[in-house]
């Protein structure tokens, strides 16, 4: 019995843009702050839904206490929405419009699910061929006449580079004026085939 593994990998151009925009309110009345933040985010999601190629979703919403000179001075409520689209120009344009009320929190790129599945299917064929080639090479090297695959496991993985750092001023950049990256980069997609073969 022989344990083998084979891999196939490729850099696949990212085809999806992810933009995070948000808002922050400060004050004494936390209930009112929550109401304002939620209202702003819900209105932004409503506007985003007018662009068919963009998928909006509510992101993190959290409340923290403000401190000054070691004393509680009020509250801060932060909230954000996440916008995804394969139509990058449309998303960049939408982010600019939403920037009248929201701040740009981050921009990242990734693979859409169909593109990732397509790449994994192609790489699986390559990894399987490499696995069989290794099995046949081992069979010949050790003087056996044939081999049979007894067990197989397939692992799929994709790695996207972390979001590019963006420079914000102290008030955070307005999405309407912040520059949008024009190059989405590529994701590393890898398929690994592991298994056990019997040499006869």
Render each residue's pLDDT in the chain as its tens digit; 200 residues.
999 999 999 999 999 999 999 999 999 999 999 999 999 999 999 999 999 999 999 999 999 988 888 888 889 999 999 999 999 889 989 998 998 889 988 888 888 889 999 999 999 999 999 999 999 999 999 999 999 999 999 998 876 555 444 444 434 445 445 556 656 788 899 999 999 999 99
> What is the spatial distance between Cα 155 and Cα 40, in angstroms, rounded to a whole number?
42
- What is the residue extent of each domain of the chain? 2-199
Question: Structure pTM?
Answer: 0.72
Distance CA 91, CA 21 (A): 12
pLDDT at 115: 92
pLDDT at position 11 is 93
Q: What pLDDT was estimated at residue 73? A: 84
pLDDT of residue 94: 93
Contact (CB, 8 A) for 37 and 27? no
CATH no. for 2-199? 3.30.70.2970
The predicted structure's pLDDT at residue 179 = 59
Residues 97, 91: Cα–Cα separation, whole Å: 10
Label residue 143 exposed, middle or buried (CB < 10 Å: 0-12, 13-18, 19+): exposed
Instruction: Look at residue 182 in the predicted model and tell me its pLDDT.
Output: 58
Q: What pLDDT, on a 0 to 100 scale, did the predictor assign at position 129?
A: 97
The span from the first CA to the last CA of the chain, in angstroms, equals 9
């Amino acid at each position: 019995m022989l344990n083998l593994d084979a891999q196939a990998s490729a850099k696949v151009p990212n085809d999806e843009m992810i933009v995070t925009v948000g808002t922050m309110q400060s004050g004494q009345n936390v209930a009112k702050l929550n109401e304002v933040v939620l209202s702003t985010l819900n209105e932004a999601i409503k506007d985003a839904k007018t662009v068919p190629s963009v998928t909006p979703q509510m992101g993190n919403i959290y409340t923290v206490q403000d401190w000054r000179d070691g004393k509680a001075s009020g509250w801060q409520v932060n909230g954000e929405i996440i916008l995804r689209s394969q139509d990058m120009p449309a998303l960049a344009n939408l982010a600019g419009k939403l920037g009248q009320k929201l701040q740009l929190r981050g921009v990242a790129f990734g693979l859409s699910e169909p593109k990732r599945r397509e790449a994994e299917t192609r790489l699986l064929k390559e990894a399987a061929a490499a696995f069989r080639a290794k099995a046949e090479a081992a069979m010949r090297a050790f003087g056996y006449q044939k081999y049979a695959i007894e067990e197989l496991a397939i692992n799929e993985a994709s790695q996207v580079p972390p979001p590019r750092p963006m420079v914000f001023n102290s008030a955070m950049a307005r999405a309407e004026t912040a520059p949008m990256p024009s190059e989405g980069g590529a994701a590393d997609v890898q398929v690994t085939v592991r298994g056990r073969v019997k040499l006869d």
